[in-house]
Structure 1
Amino acid sequence: MSIKMRFLLSYVGVIIISIILLLAAGFLIIFSITGDIKSIEHFYKKSYVQKPLTTLEESTFLDLKLMAKNNPTLLLYEEQLKNVEQEGIEIVVRKDNEVHYASPSLNKQALLKSLPGFEETNINMRDTIKIEDSFFTYVKFDFYFPDKSKGSIFVLRKASSYAELARALFPILFGLLLFLFMMIIGLLNYFVSRSIINPISILEDGAKRIKSGDLDFEIKATSNDEIGQLNRSFEEMRLKLKESVNLQLQYEENRKELLSNISHDLKTPITSIIGYVEGIKDGVANTPQKMDKYLSIIHLKAKDMDSLIDELFLFSKLDLKKEPFSFELIELTEYMQHYVEELHLELIQEGIQIELELTHQPVYVTADREKLKRVMANLINNCVKYLNKDQKRISISLYEGNHEVTVKVTDNGQGIESSALPHIFNRFYRAEQSRNSRTGGSGLGLAIAKQIIEEHGGDIWATSEIGEGTNMFFSLKKGR
C-alpha cells in the first residue's frame, strides 16, 4: 500500500471517528437533559421538545390550568387574572377567536396572528412562536367554557431569537460544519501529502535516473524538516557519486594513456636492443670497439627498461596501499648532507651545481629512509630534465615550523606552464608531451613522490615561473 493511500485512509478514519465521537457527545448531552433515551428519536418532533419554565411560571400555569378545569368562568374576570399574574410573567386568555386578556406588554392583534390554534387533545402544549419581532416560548392548555366555546390559556416567556434560530437551523448548521470539517481535513491531507509524497517521488525519480546512469540533474531541498534533510543527503550522494564516476572515467583515460606510454617506452628500448643484437648477428660489429659500443647501448636500454618496470611496480603497490613503510626518527640535516654527497659527483659530471641550505640546529622528522630517498630522487630527476641554461643549478633548503619541516628543491630550468602546474602531481600526467629522449618517462615520478609524502602525513606542492625555474616543496611531521 502506497504512503499516499495510507495518508488518505488515516484522514478518512479521523473523520469517521470524529463524527462518531460528536454524535456520542450529543447523545450524552440530550440524555443528561431529558433523562429519556427515546428523546434522541424525537429530538426534532415538536410534541417532544422540552421548554422548561421557571418555578414561578410553572406555578402560574398550574393555577390557570386548575381554574380552567374547575371554574373556567373565572378566567373571564380581569381582576382574577391580575391576582394570578405576577411580575415578569406574560399570560394570555383566548376565547374562540378573540384574545380576552393579555398582559399589558403584549399586542392583542399580533397575538391573534401568532398564537397556535385550539387543540382539544392538548398534545402540543409547549413550543416557540414569533410575535412581531420577538420569539416567545409558551405553555398552553385548551379547554371549553360552560357555553361550549373554545378557550385557551397561555403562559409566555421571551426567548433569544438567536437561540431559536440556531435550533431551527441546527440540521443545516450541523451539515455545513461537517462539510467544512471534511474540507479542512481534505486540504490538510492534500498539503501534508504533497509536502511528503512529492519530495519522495522526486527522490524515486532521481534513484531511477541514477540507476540508468544519468547523474546530470539536481535535487533541491524545499524544506528544513526530515524530508528536506533526506533530499540534501541524496543530493550530496549524487554529487559524490558523480565525482567518483568522473574520477573513474579520468582514471580510465589515464590508464589508456599509461598503456600507450608504457607501450611506447618499452617498445623504444626493445627496438633498439633488437636492432643492435641483429647488427651483432649480421657481423656489423666487426671490431672490438663496435662490439663494446653495441653491448654498452644494449645494457643501457635494458637498464632503462628495468627502471621503468620498477617504477610501475612501485606505483602499483603504492596505489593499492600494499607498499610497506618503515618509519623511524631521522635527523634531517645529516640525512640531506649524506644524500647530496652521494649525488654530487653524478651531477657535477652533467654540469649541474647542487647547493644545500640547512639550519644550524638538528631537525628531527619521522620518515622512511628509503621512501624519502625515492622522493628526493624523483624531484631531482624532474629538475635535471628541464635544466636548459648554461649554468645549471639545483638547491635544497630546509624550513622548520612548529609541527612540521618543509623541504624545498629549487632549479633554474625552463619552468612549468601555469596551466600545467596544478596537474604535475597527478598520476600519469606529463607537462612535456613530446616524449623526447631527454624528458621522456612514464609520468609517474611526481605521482609516486606525492603518494609517499601523503603516506607520511605531509603535503607536496610546487611553484614555477617560465624562464626562471621551479620550486618543489614537501612537508614532513616533526619527530618526537
Structure 2
Amino acid sequence: MTIKRRLIISYILVFVVPIMMTAFLFLFSAGGLWLFTQSGNHVFVESPTQFNRATEAVHHVVFRSIRAGQTDPSGYTWVIEMFSPQQSYVILKEDNQTYYEYGNGKLASRIKNIPAYVQDRGLTESNRDTYVRSEDGQYYYYEKQNIDGHVYSLYFLSQEMPHGTDEAVERATRGTIIAIILSFFILLALTIYLLTHFVLRYMQRALDLLQLGSTHVREGDLRGHLYYPHDDEVKPVVEAFNMMTKELNQSLQERQQAEENRKELIANMSHDIRTPLTAIRAYVEGLMDNVANTPEKQERYLKVIQKKAADMDRMINQLFLFSKIELGERALPMEEMDLNRVVAEIVYENEDGWQRDGAVVTLSQSGGTLPVMGNAELWQRIITNLVSNSIKYKTDSIVQIQINTAKADGRISLVVADDGPGVAPDVLPRLKELFYRTDKARSRTGDGSGLGLAIVARAVELMGGTLTFCLVEPHGLCACLELPEKKEEEPHE
C-alpha cells in the first residue's frame, strides 16, 4: 500500500471516527437511560423548564413511533415510565378512546383544567394542536395529531416536587457524563495513536532502510544492494540509491584501476627508457675512452646513439600523447573534419618512410566526404601506430597494408589490415591493454613500449568511436574503427 493511500485512509478515518464516536455516545446514553428505567428509579419534575424538556422527549418518542406504524404502546412507554408515577399522569387516546394510561390516577380529575374548547377544537392546518399550561405548581400538556386518518391525543399532567427528589437521576446523569467524557478522550487518543502508527510505522521502515544503506556507504561498503519489496513512493528513492552506490562503486573501481595503470605506466616507461639510456651511456663512454678508435667504429657508435635517442624520443612522445588523451577534450579539442582528406594526407606524408621500412600501403577511399568530429593529432597517431605495429611484427621482408574508408547507416569506418603473421585468437581481446606485448604470440619480438595499440583504442574512444580487432585469412591482423557521422545542423529560421 502506498503512502498516499495510507494518508487518504487516515484522513477518511479522521472524518469517520467522530461520527462513529457520536453514534457510540448516543447508544451509550440510550443504554444508560434503559438501565435507568430498569433500575426502578424515576425522574421528578422540579420546575417548568424540566417539565417542558420532559414533554418534549415524550412528544417526540410517542408521535414518531405512531407515525412509523408502531401503535403498540410497549415500544415507547419506556420514556413515559421514566417519570415518577406518583407525580405524573399520562393518557394516550386514539379517536377519543383511551388505549394507554400511566401514573397517579388521582391527578386525572385535573384534566378538566384543560379548557373544553381546547380539547374539542378541530386540528390546525398542520394536523397538530398543542396546549401547555403551568399554574400553582401544576403543569399541563395536551397535544393531538391526525395520523393516517386517526386522531391521537396525548395528555401529560405533573405536579411540582420539592428540589432534590431526583438525586438518583442527578447521580446517574453525572456518572453518564463522566463516562461519556472519558470514553470520548480514550477513543480519540486511541484513534490518533493508531492512525499515527499506521502511517509513521510504514514510513519509518523505509527511512531505516535508507539509513542502513547510508551507514554502509559511510563505512566504505559500496557493494550492498537495498531490497525494498513495496511498490510505492519510496521505491524510486531506493532504486536511485542503489544506482548511486553502483555508480560510486564503479567509479571507485575505475579510479583504482586508473591509479594502478599510472603506477604501471611509470614503472614500464622507466624500464623502457632506462634501456636505450643505458645503451647511449655505454656508447658515449666507448667514444670517450677511445674504444671506437677508427672512423668506422665512431660512425657506428654515433648511429647507435642516434637510434637510441630516437627510441627515447618516440617513447616520450607516446607517453605525452597518452597523458593528453587521459585529460580528454581539454587537451585535444575536437573539430569537424573530412576523414578521407585527413587519411590521404597522413598516408602521403609517411608513405616514403613506410616503404623504406618494408611496408607497401594501399589506400582505398569511398567517394565524397566523410564528416567526423575528431582531432588531427589523434588521427596522425592512430594511422602511424597501426602501420608501425604491422611493420614491427612482420615476418617477411615486405608487409602489405590495406587502408580503406567507407560510410554506411550513419557510421563511418576506417579499416587497416595487413598480411603479417597475425595473433592467436585468444590474444585479440587483450591488444588494447596497456603495455601488453605479443612477444609470445609473434614469431619475433619488438622493441615497442606497449602503448601503441592502447593509444589507438583510447584515441578512438575519445572521438566517440569503437575499435575492434579481427584476424585476416589466411594470415594477418585487421583493425576496424567505427565513428558516428557528423550531421549537418539545420539552419535556424
- Deviations along 1:375-416, one digit per CA (max 9) or x if unpaired, are 111222233334346763321112122534211011233434
Offset at 1:91? Answer: 1.6
Write the distance in 1 (CA, Å) between the matches of 2:249 and 2:42: 75
Rate the CA distance shift 1:404–1:465 in 2: closer, same or farther, 3 A: closer
2:335 to 327, 331, 335: 327
* Equivalent position amino acid for 2:304 in 1: I
Offset at 1:263? Answer: 1.2
1:131-142 alignment, distance < 5 Å? none
Write the distance in 2 (CA, Å) between the matches of 1:55 and 1:338: 110
1:100-119 alignment, distance < 5 Å? none
Which position in structure 2 is the counterpart of 1:53? 58
* Equivalent position amino acid for 2:59 in 1: T
Which position in structure 2 is the counterpart of 1:221? 228
Preserved contact between residue 405 and residue 478 of structure 1 (Cα < 8 Å): no
Offset at 1:281? Answer: 2.4
Preserved contact between residue 395 and residue 409 of structure 1 (Cα < 8 Å): yes
TM-score normalised by structure 2 residue count: 0.60
Preserved contact between residue 416 and residue 465 of structure 1 (Cα < 8 Å): no
Write the distance in 2 (CA, Å) between the matches of 1:200 and 1:208: 12
1:453 aligns with 2:460: yes
* Equivalent position amino acid for 2:438 in 1: E
Write the distance in 2 (CA, Å) between the matches of 1:45 and 1:464: 112
Offset at 1:95? Answer: 8.8
Offset at 1:293? Answer: 1.1
* Equivalent position amino acid for 2:359 in 1: I
1:365 aligns with 2:375: no
Rate the CA distance shift 1:316–1:141 in 2: closer, same or farther, 3 A: same
Offset at 1:424? Answer: 3.6
Which position in structure 1 is the counterpart of 2:215? 208
Offset at 1:370? Answer: 3.9
Preserved contact between residue 363 and residue 400 of structure 1 (Cα < 8 Å): no
1:91 aligns with 2:101: yes
Preserved contact between residue 423 and residue 441 of structure 2 (Cα < 8 Å): no
* Equivalent position amino acid for 1:362 in 2: G
1:317 to 300, 324, 334: 324
Offset at 1:56? Answer: 12
Identity across matched positions, percent: 27
Rate the CA distance shift 1:434–1:194 in 2: closer, same or farther, 3 A: farther
Offset at 1:250? Answer: 0.7
Which position in structure 1 is the counterpart of 2:314? 307
Offset at 1:82? Answer: 11
| RMSD of equivalent CA atoms | 4.9
Write the distance in 1 (CA, Å) between the matches of 2:61 and 2:350: 127
Preserved contact between residue 416 and residue 479 of structure 2 (Cα < 8 Å): yes
Which position in structure 1 is the counterpart of 2:362? 355
Which position in structure 2 is the counterpart of 1:125? none
Write the distance in 2 (CA, Å) between the matches of 1:83 and 1:457: 104
Rate the CA distance shift 1:386–1:197 in 2: closer, same or farther, 3 A: farther
1:442 to 421, 438, 449: 449
1:249 aligns with 2:256: yes
Preserved contact between residue 388 and residue 414 of structure 1 (Cα < 8 Å): yes
* 3-state SS in 2 of match to 1:53: helix
Write the distance in 1 (CA, Å) between the matches of 2:239 and 2:92: 86
- Deviations along 1:333-392, one digit per CA (max 9) or x if unpaired, are x55445434444434444433333333x23343454443222111222233334346763
* Equivalent position amino acid for 1:406 in 2: S
Preserved contact between residue 347 and residue 353 of structure 1 (Cα < 8 Å): yes
Offset at 1:438? Answer: 4.1
Offset at 1:448? Answer: 2.9
Which position in structure 1 is the counterpart of 2:280? 273
1:232 to 228, 239, 245: 239
Rate the CA distance shift 1:87–1:240 in 2: closer, same or farther, 3 A: farther
TM-score normalised by structure 1 residue count: 0.62
Rate the CA distance shift 1:355–1:277 in 2: closer, same or farther, 3 A: same
Offset at 1:240? Answer: 0.6
1:432 aligns with 2:438: yes
Write the distance in 1 (CA, Å) between the matches of 2:226 and 2:255: 23
* 3-state SS in 1 of match to 2:318: helix
Write the distance in 2 (CA, Å) between the matches of 1:458 and 1:83: 106
* Equivalent position amino acid for 1:374 in 2: R
Preserved contact between residue 358 and residue 391 of structure 2 (Cα < 8 Å): no
Offset at 1:328? Answer: 5.2
Which shifted more, 251-260 or 86-95?
Answer: 86-95
- Deviations along 1:86-124, one digit per CA (max 9) or x if unpaired, are 55742257899xxxxxxxxxxxxxxxxxxxxxxxx99xx
1:6-45 alignment, distance < 5 Å? none
| Structure 2: unaligned runs, 5 residues or longer | 1-9, 30-40, 45-49, 64-76, 81-85, 107-136, 139-154, 161-174, 489-493
1:392 aligns with 2:399: yes
Offset at 1:305? Answer: 0.8
Preserved contact between residue 469 and residue 478 of structure 2 (Cα < 8 Å): yes
Which shifted more, 230-239 or 189-198?
Answer: 189-198
- Deviations along 1:204-262, one digit per CA (max 9) or x if unpaired, are 22222212211121112333433222211111110010000011111111111111111
Q: How many residues align?
A: 369
Write the distance in 2 (CA, Å) between the matches of 1:55 and 1:177: 27
* 3-state SS in 1 of match to 2:229: coil
* Equivalent position amino acid for 1:320 in 2: L
